[in-house]
Amino acid sequence: MKIRSQLLLMAAAILIPVIVASGLALENIREAGRQAALRGLRESARATALIVDREVQGSLSALKALGGSPHLENRDFKAFYEQAAAFYQKGDSWTVLFDDKGAQVVNTAVPYGTLLASPPISRVEVVRKVLSSQKPVTTDLGVGSVTGKMITTVNIPAVAAGGRSFVVAQTFAVDYWKKKVFQTNLPSDWITGVIDRKGLFIARSFRADELVGKPARPSLVAAAAASHEGILRYTTLEGVDSYNAYTHSDLTGWTIGIAAPVSSISAAANSAVWLAVLGMLAAIAVAALAVAAFGQRCIKAIESASRSAMALGRGQQPGVERTGIEEVNALNHELVSAGALLDAERKSRQAAECERERLLRNEVLARENAQAQNEAKDEFLAMLGHELRNPLAAIAGATELLQRTGLGTAGAERCIRIISRQNHHLNHIVSDLLDVSRLMAGKIELKQEPLDMADCVSQCVEALRATKQARGQKITVHASSAWFSGDAVRMDQILNNLLANALKFSDPGCEVKVTVWEGTGKAFVTVQDTGAGIVPELLAHVFEPFVQGPAPANRLQSGLGIGLALVRQLVRLHDGDVQAASAGTRQGSTFSLWVPAIAIAGQLPEITRQAAGAPRQRKLVYVEDNADARTMMAELLRMLGYEVIEVVDGTSTLPAVLAAQPDAVIIDIGLPDIDGYEVARRLRADPLTRSIPLLALTGYGQLCDRQAATLAGFNAHLAKPTNSTAIVKTLEEVITAAEVFEG
């Protein structure tokens, strides 16, 4: 039997069980795909329910504020009408004030003084229920007596007058829910519906004009009444066989359902099956081709070896001897005849064996190195997850507490401090990661200026002493003036990393010494601690990315292992160097760096001194589409003494700037209509706005983004998030520069 035949039999023996097992696995793959699609359907329903609860919760917060209005105490309903209209008024939502009899006193859907219709019995019952229970009540779908629209309402007792005289209600037309609830990222053949407690559609993503206010499928209503959430299979009102995932809004009790055609769910599962089938067929085809190619190659190799052996052993032309397995038998027969040649070839074989051993050793070393790198990567990812989850958990907890208790409570200030502190921590982590990436790509540029190393160290130490990390630690500074040319922000980053590292690996009460001096044309800094020390194996790699020593016994492991790598790269960008020294475990560590020193004469430029001063009264136009970010930043700038005009999109910017003639314009890049680059180009093209300073404040912070901002006409670029100090400093610099240029 030929080798090719044996190879084919061997391949068949391997592939047949694989094919049988794959057939059984394909059904499991299909079912797993279907279950994954159904989980996605269920999560979409939960997300929609959260949207409903978010809108209702926002309405409750606004109504609580209106319910405590002093105008209700004074029975000044006209003033209350104006307050309600200004406080919370949208096209599909309005505010209504009921007295304790259920009569409408104020309705912002119509002008004040309009004769309001008598309330229906159902409305009177709702008012009584709210006043008697002193709890919010959300109604099902009904028809408004004033507007004639299909509506739902959120009702709470007014705090004024003891909470027994009035009920404040926020009314939502069905079009409001249509605009707010439906998620745009769902497949086009999925149908989303919101059903009230009576089984009527409040909103529907398909055939809404026809079906809103009509009953939903009885099977869906019954299933929703029986359980809080679930999935059932039924035929939709359009006659489509579908899976429907339903859940309930916690604040309203309404049912939120999302129906997906069975064909759509099955398609996702079947695609996974077909992908597996194609992969299996490809594997069989490749195996067959490999068997054919390998068999042919083996045959030729054996025949060639046989002819060579005969020629070497007998000094004759190679011949072919056919046996049971022709190629193998011929090779074995002729190798015996070539035995006399083995001694001459032994040395060559020994050399080949030595080379093989060398290659094997190299392979083992390479594998160990790859394993070490893989372990370092896993440790880094685990630590990154730990470092990110801790601040995110703190922010989430503080945010939920603020949502539950409000800003006026005793713990609100503590929550805000927690959010600010953890946000700063997240920003520090992301900045370090981006800095490492930019350093490795060679994209960091220094903004160099004359600096005194003693001042840099002093400022960094003072900032660290105010942190929790430095509590119970002693930091001693011995510094003499040592001037150098460097980037103040990057040097602070270098010193902060070295000092924070020394504090992290020192026991409470231990001393960290910082020394600054100048000598031999260099500015020197040493940071010395008496803490955990560095083992010799780690000392040679301490400045490599993602390398960390073991945490001290009394502290948890923290950090990403990139701080010292950043230090070395940033110091080298300053044309200096940094070194680490340690006598071993529990012997402390010393980190020493130097940068070229310079001689200082004269004063800093006038524009720098002007920018460092407090900002005088300025007028700003602030362009930002995110309402929360715009409101917070505008209020912060007003607190800092600026007059701020808010603009929500790019198209409205040029008219606003022409009307205001501000001192500067702050522009977000990612706007909903035209981007910030186009806004800048339009402002630069108009003679009346050409010279106004422009500041880009955006989440796009790469080098290419800064270059694009410069090309578009921006004077400066800041990446989000940033603090008020950086914004004010940059604003004053660009405004002062523009004033100097015009002068």
Q: Provide the CATH number for the domain formed by 446-596 in this structure.
A: 3.30.565.10
725-731: list long-range contacts, CB under 8 Å, 24+ apart: 727/637, 727/666, 727/695, 727/697, 728/615, 728/640, 729/611, 729/612, 730/695, 731/615, 731/618, 731/620, 731/664, 731/666, 731/693, 731/695
Residue 477, Cβ density class (10 Å: 0-12 exposed, 13-18 middle, ≥19 buried): middle
What's the pLDDT tens digit per position in 415-448? 777 777 667 667 766 766 666 666 665 566 788 8
CATH of 345-444, one of 3.30.1340.30, 1.10.287.130, 1.10.1840.10, 1.20.1070.10: 1.10.287.130
State the average pLDDT over residues 220-229.
Answer: 92
State the average pLDDT over residues 677-681.
Answer: 95
Q: How many other C-beta atoms lie within 10 A of the C-beta of residue 509?
A: 8
List, in sequence order, the alpha helices (H) in 68-147.
Answer: 70-73, 77-87, 121-133
Distance of CA 637 to the CA centre of its chain: 26
**pLDDT for residue 603 is more than 50:** no
The mean of the pLDDT values for the chain is 81
Residue 507, Cβ density class (10 Å: 0-12 exposed, 13-18 middle, ≥19 buried): middle
End-to-end CA distance of the chain: 99
- Domain borders along the chain are 345-444, 446-596, 613-742
* 3-state percent helix, strand, coil for the chain, nearest multiple of 5: 55, 20, 30
Contact 635/661 with Cβ under 8 angstroms? no
State how far the Cα of 460 lies from the Cα of 357, in Å rounded to an integer.
55
User: Is omega for the bond preceding 552 within 30 degrees of 0, making it cis?
Assistant: no
Of the listed ranges 14-28, 208-222, 239-253, 599-613, the least confidently predicted one is 599-613
State how far the Cα of 633 lies from the Cα of 619, in Å rounded to an integer.
14
Q: State pTM to two decimals.
A: 0.40
State how far the Cα of 534 lies from the Cα of 550, in Å rounded to an integer.
9
Considering only CA atoms, give the Rg of the chain: 38
pLDDT cut 70: percent of the chain above it: 78
- In terms of Cα–Cα distance, which of 503, 432, 493 is closest to 466? 503
State the average pLDDT over residues 104-122.
Answer: 88
For residue 167, the model assigns a pLDDT of: 93
Q: Report residue 91 as tokens.
A: 């096209």
pLDDT band at 606 (very low <50, low <70, confident <90, very high): very low
Buried b (16+ CB within 10 A) or exposed e, 207-231: ebeebbeeebbeebbebbeeeebeb
For residue 528, the model assigns a pLDDT of: 93
State the average pLDDT over residues 456-485.
Answer: 84
For residue 47, the model assigns a pLDDT of: 92
**pLDDT for residue 615 is more than 50:** no
State how far the Cα of 96 lies from the Cα of 274, in Å rounded to an integer.
58
Q: Is the Cα dihedral 611, 615, 618, 621 positive or negative?
A: positive
For residue 150, the model assigns a pLDDT of: 92
Domain topology for 613-742: Rossmann fold (3.40.50)
Phi/psi-derived region of residue 485, left when phi > 0, alpha when psi is between -120 and 50, beta in every other case? beta
613-742: same fold as 446-596? no
What's the pLDDT tens digit per position in 130-149? 999 999 999 999 988 888 88
Q: Report residue 683 as tokens.
A: 């402002």
- Calculate helix-pair angle for 174-181, 3-67, nearest 10 degrees: 140
pLDDT band at 602 (very low <50, low <70, confident <90, very high): very low
